[in-house]
Amino acid sequence: MHISQSIRSIAMPIAIILGAIFCRPVDWFDKLTDGWMTPSFIFIMLFFTFCKVDVRKIRLSWLHLWLILFQIVASLAIYYAFAWWDIVVAQGAMICVLAPVAMAAVIIGAMLDADVESMVAYSLLCNVVMAFLAPLYLHAFGNGECTIWQILQKVAPLLLSPFIAGQLCRLLMPKVAGWVSRNGQISFYVWVLSLTVIIGRTTSYLLDNNQGGRIEIILAVVSMLLCFVQFVLGYRLGRRYGQAEAASQLLGQKNTILVVWMSQTFLNPISSVAPTAYIVWQNIANSYQIYNHDKAKSQR
């Protein structure tokens, strides 16, 4: 096994552990930067990824249609499945399914040798559709104050700016784009730093908002189950189209930063425990997938 594969196998668990242990200093420093650390890391990672993307190869497919239909239908179904019992749990479960795909899914997909162009296509589609659809859901099941513009303000800059920068780099500075493409492994180490920050923030939030109540535990367990189900369903659906790893990421990896804000602002704030816990579960899933991918690759 190459040294890079060895590092990749242990880097993510270490990042999760360090983020949890040093959650207070990490959270303090993140607040000191006014929360700009994570967006900056995401921009760098997406820039490295988008420098490899040829826009001429971006196409929508039937796989993308099935994935978006699943999110729309399943989020409604899961809400009504829990609503008769507890509205807060129903809101938390719904938002874990409705959440648009995370920008980091494309980055992890590239590490898994997935079809990056296909993932970019769905990322654009999913985030635009959810920007228009989420306000309807939040109006129906929350306080009704969410607008399309509020969500677009959160999503568009983080998605479009690195995409435009990467394509301009390919067009105007092909040598720089070539160097970026050849050194794409840098994005992995940036992602590890980002993971440490995200886990640190998540741990601090859970500690500060843990009231020792039954509802918080239920929300965390429900989000764990939904995370597992979506990663597995995405993999099985994607396998039919020869894109198992890509579809697993596209369905399982969520823009949790966005939906935590949505939950705290437009739903019962306690429901945000579900997407907050989802951050931990999806990064454990990412670590497992990359470990298996590197292990299989080393044995070829």
**DSSP state, residue 102:** P
Average pLDDT, the chain: 82
In angstroms, how far is the first alpha carbon of the chain from the final one?
11
Structural domains of the chain ordered from first start: 22-298 (1.20.1530.20)
- Per-residue pLDDT tens over the stretch 221-246: 999 999 999 999 999 999 999 999 99
Say if residues 81 and 257 touch (Cβ distance below 8 Å): no
Cα–Cα distance measured from residue 226 to residue 89, given in angstroms and rounded to the nearest whole number: 12
Quote the pLDDT of residue 97.
94
**Cβ contacts of 146 within 8 Å, gap of 6 or more:** 134, 135, 138, 139, 262, 265, 266
Per-residue pLDDT at 3 exceeds 50: no
Rg (CA), the chain: 19
Quickly count: other Cβ atoms within 10 Å of residue 236's Cβ: 12
Quickly count: other Cβ atoms within 10 Å of residue 33's Cβ: 12
- Per-residue pLDDT tens over the stretch 135-175: 888 878 877 676 777 766 766 676 678 878 888 888 888 88
Quote the pLDDT of residue 225.
96
The fraction of the chain above a pLDDT of 70, given in percent, is 91
Give the predicted TM-score (pTM) of the model: 0.78
Say if residues 243 and 115 touch (Cβ distance below 8 Å): yes
